[in-house]
Amino acid sequence: MSLEKRIEATAKNIEGKVQEVVGEITGNPQDKAEGQAKQAEAQVSHVVENIKDEIKEVLK
């Protein structure tokens, strides 16, 4: 399950980066902000998965 979540987070990060760049190119600050928000959300997901992995290691 962890790998699936990481893949989803990576996809969301890429989507956010693309949306941010499109917002910059088109001059649309809303697209740029939404892209940045998606990237932040993806980063949080990665951190959560890292914490889960570390907890599993400690419990072993």
Domain extent listing, the chain: 2-59
Strand (E) or helix (H) holding 41: helix 29-59
The confidence score (pLDDT) of residue 36 equals: 97
Q: What is the predicted pLDDT for the residue at 1?
A: 56
Low-confidence ranges of the chain (pLDDT < 50): none
What does the angle CA 24 – CA 29 – CA 30 come to, to the nearest 5 degrees?
Answer: 120
Global pTM value: 0.86
Structure tokens at 33: 């902000």
